[in-house]
Every structure is written in structure tokens, then in C-alpha cells.
Chains A and B, each alone.
Chain A
Amino acid sequence: MSLASAWSVALLGVDGVLVEIEADIGAGLPGLQLVGLPDAALSEARDRIRAAVLNSGESWPSRRMTLALSPATLPKVGSGYDVALAVALLAADRTVPADRLRGTVLIGELALDGRLRPVHGVLPAVLAARRAGMHRVVVPRGALAEAALVDGVEVHGAARLRDVLAWLRDPTAQLERPGPSRPAPPAVVPDLADVLGQPDARWAVEVAAAGGHHLLLTGPPGTGKTMLAQRMVGLLPELCVEDALEVTAIHSVAGLLTPDTPLLTTPPFVAPHHTSSMTALIGGGSGLARPGAVSRAHRGVLLLDEVPEFGPRSLEALRTPLEDGEVRLARRDGVVTYPARCQLVLAANPCPCAPPDERDCTCAPAARRRYLGRLSGPLLDRVDLRVALRPVTQMDGAGCEPESTTVVRERVFAARRAARVRWGDRGWATNAEVPGSALRRRYRLSPTVRAPIEHSLQMGLLTARGADRCLRVAWTVADLAGHDCPSEEDVAVALNFKDRRAA
């Protein structure tokens, strides 16, 4: 009767739970039992670890072996437990000493020849290990850079199971340690100077970038809607360390990280095609939900190009994430919460025929109404800025060179700094994050400045939420103009952006 245990991590969304893996070897017919709600991939670990152990030059214990994953009621998914299972088994067999297994989390899939393969979600798993008070983590060598992003925990990389066993046997042996972190190559973002004309739309993009507001661009095809939206990421500041870790963790769970760029420091830009399903946009899948586009765009920009072509159900599902900044997805194996604080940019044609000049439109009035009518009121109510693009009539923009990203970014950064100074001690980074109640009480504007909004509310042109959003945009406009507090003019500009008739 010999026992041993090792540690690994089960992921629930971007949170992790420590899993104790116990191995028992006892009398009885030779065989291996795996208990603790394994899924299909984990049940197959039996065959993987047997081959890997034999091919690492160890003998396979021919006795009755039981491997238990605890907490037993938590469903375990995937192949990341292989290394911990194999090591627990060999420690129970007294093939390797168990001293170094105390306080060590092992993550990785085993290849049949004993190599360690990287798995998804290493970063959130290491974060969870640190939270649970573990002080050592062994990960596959390919995931070493990703795991090394976490401070306060010793990270080791191993290429083969053989290396891990040697490390357990010899207290002086060392596994590969992470090298100095390389700065990620600067992402290539197209420049704003490429866009011809469109002063209104450029201004709207600048305001959206400065305040973190949602934006709707409408206009005939070929006027630069998509170009402008793609260039918005270039106007956003780099992510702070906390946000970068959060964004990287989501990408790690989604399996989108490359070994070259372990830490994502630039705001992500996600542009799903308009045939995307609701699951692809919001997240989902069987068992435990996986992150969707809205979470992958967390702290970045989610562009929905040709938005009327999206399925109405997909678009409506965006409503709650936009408001809450997170999605809660309940599936068979539990409820997971993914952060989803993205900036939404919608781009649409004004009608199905969409001629360069609006006067040439041949659509029936009903068809026109129906086209933009696919964007529901509740969704549009959450959009702060609406702007119509005009047809481009000159190739060289009336002789003056359009402003480049660098110039506009200076103004955006200055406005963001002003906002952070104002809200910083309350934990809000941008104007878009400020709750409406704070805008209406603590930072209440004078009645004369507020008058246009009050009037629109009375006329039924604005909803209460719309009024709050209008106030936030007014603050951003004031920040960009260098005002301490929004003036009447700033409020008018904000109200104009919100106007349904504008787009």
C-alpha cells in the first residue's frame, strides 16, 4: 500500500482551482483506475502516461493503481494533468522521491515518447497556483515564457518527463529557468494619415479613443469606415501590467498565445466576420464555456463590420456584456465569468444599395428603414457616438495632409491623463467606466450646462441611460478641449453625437 500526491490546476474560465492528484498502488490485478470526473481527453491520459513512462526508461508498476483527482466533484477537462499524474504514480511506486513535489504544481501534456507538450491556459493556472500558496511550478518548456510572467512563484520549464524525474531524484539538479523577458515587438498598426477626408468621423474616433466610448460609423461603401475603425487601436495607450495579464490570461485560455509574444501589451483588436454565431461572439461551447470575441477584445476594440448583416440574436446577446463589462456563461460543467470590457465599434451602410452619393439611392423607403432597423433600439442606446461618413470627393483632401496617428495620439493621451487624474482615486480609468450615479451627484453639472440634455429627456429623444452616456461623452469632449468641466458647448457636441437622426 503506497501513496503519493502531486498538484495541478483545473481552470474555470480564467480562474483556477488547485487539484490534488493522489496515487495509490495496492494489491490486486494490474491496471490503472482514474477517478474524479475526467472528461474524454483526461481519460485517455491512462494510455498516454503509460507510454510516456515506459519510453522514459522507467518500469510500469504492474499492480493495481488508482489515481484520484480531488476535489472529486469538480469536472476536470483536458490533458494538462498528464505530467502530474505520471509523477504521482511513480512517486507512489517509490521510483522517485516525493520531497520536491511538496508545494510544486505540475502542468503539461505528455507525448508518447515522454516529451512535455504545452497546453492552453498556463498563465491563469500559474496565477491560481500562486494564489493558493504554491511556491514552485513546472511547465512545458514551450510555455515557460508565459508562466514566467507571474511574479512571486518559482517557474521551471521541462522538455521531457525524464528531466522532471531527474529533477525529483537529485536535489541539486535544476530544470530550465526563464530567461530575461524580451519586450514584445511593437505591433504594426495602420496610420490614421491613410484616411482621406472625413473630419467628423476622425473627430468621433478621437473622442471614442479618449473616453473609451462605443462608436457607430455609417456611410456609403468605400468611404473609410473600416479603415478608421482599424486605426483606432493605434490611438489607445499600452495596457498597464494588471490589464495586460488579464488580457493575456484570456488569450491563453482561448489558445491564441504564441511563444514569441507571451505578454500582450497592446490593446487587442478583434473583428469577427458577420456570419459569426452567438457562441463565437459571446463565448460558449459544451462542458465549460470558452471565451468569445467580446472577451478576446477585453481592454481593446471589438469591430463589428457590416453590422446589419449580423444575426439579430448575436447582436442582442452583446447587450449585457457591454453594460456589465463581463459575461457570465452557464454551461453543463459550471458557470464561468470572462471579463468583456471592450470598446465596440460598429460599421454599417445606410441602406442595402448604398450608392456613393445618398441621393442616388434606389431602395424603397421601407427597405431602408428595415436595414438599419436590424440594429435594435436597446443596442443603439448603448452606443455613445454615432457619426455619418460623407462620400469622398477629392483625392488629396483639399491640399492639407491628414493628421497622423502620432499627432492625434498626443491629444488622446492628454485627455486620458486628465480623466485619470479626476477619477483615478476612485478606480475608474476612463470616462466610459464612470457610473451614472457619480455623474449625476458628485460631479453634477450646473443646470444651464445640463439644460440641453434635460430638454432632450423631456422631449423623449433620450433614455435615462442615453442621458448618462451623453454626460460621459461631454466629459471626454471637455478633456480633449482642456476644459476642467464640460461647458454648454461640450454638452451640445455630445448630444449631437448621440442624436438618432445623425445616423
Chain B
Amino acid sequence: MAHTAERIASALEGLAHELSTGKDGMCSVRVAASDVHECVLRLRDRAQFETNTFVTAIDHFPKEPRFEGLWQFMSVAHADRVRVSALLPGTEPKVASIVDLYPGAAYAERESFDMFGIVYVGHADLKRLLMPENYDHFPLRKDFPHHGIEPDRLYREWDRRRRERAAVSDHSEIADQ
């Protein structure tokens, strides 16, 4: 989409970026991790990308930098899309949150944190979304096994506490099965 690329290039003038077009015809912008917020702000205000489609990441383990953060936006007015990507380090990956620009990115950032461990700085409520809150691991990392590590650990702890309560209580409704 030639005019999309032009619009994006003019919006991002002055900001260091690499523009490319993917197999799906979508413009892809590569920026430094520290420039993500500025890039997204410009895309929203100058290029009319009003809505955020997803926020996620790719784990390139064992290559460094390990994570490739991805942000994709759609313009309803122009009916086109853009994808922003930035490479993040493997140890303590941090990037600015775009929740102040797109409140709809809140859950997507929480999910990305839950699955990869990427911290979105500035997110008011960055806790796990899909896994239980006190879960220890980041499932979508490549070094996490598909079957999981002790998947029933939290349940077994809860179950032990439940049986202890049942043993001392008069109520037989907490069955011993």
C-alpha cells in the first residue's frame, strides 16, 4: 500500500525507524525500544491509526535480543494497518506502555506480560491475565516446556488447605473424596 507507507513515513519524520512491507502487504516499522511510545503517539495523531489491534511479542530464544515486541494498529478512516516492532533484551525486558494512548491495549499488555514477562512501564495494573495471579512461569517463552512445570502445584496447595479445614470442621460437606 504505497500511500499507507507515505503517510507513515511522513508521520514518523525525524524519528529513527525502518519501514518495510511484509508478505501480507502490511507496512512494518522497526524502532528502538525506547522510541516505541513516541512512534505510536505519532501514528495515532498524525497518521490517524485510531485503534490498536494487538500487543504481543515473539520469543527468539536463544538469539539476543531475545524478544521482539509487536504492536499493530488499524486506521478505520483509511482502512489500513501498520505494525510496529522493537527488539527487547532477554533479561528484564521493559518497554513503555501505550495504555495512555490506547486504553484498549490494557489487557493485551497484561497478557503479553503474563506470557513473556515483558514489563510495560506505565501500565497502572500490570498483573497476570490468563494464568493464576501467583503463577511462577512465563508460558510462551521458548524454554518453557509445552506440558508445563508442575501444572497442578497451586491446586494441590489449595486442596491441602481445604482438607485441613475439613479435618477440623464439623461440616461434613467438605467431602473427603
Partners in one complex: no
The chain A residues found within 8 Å of chain B, CB to CB, are: none
The chain B residues found within 8 Å of chain A, CB to CB, are: none
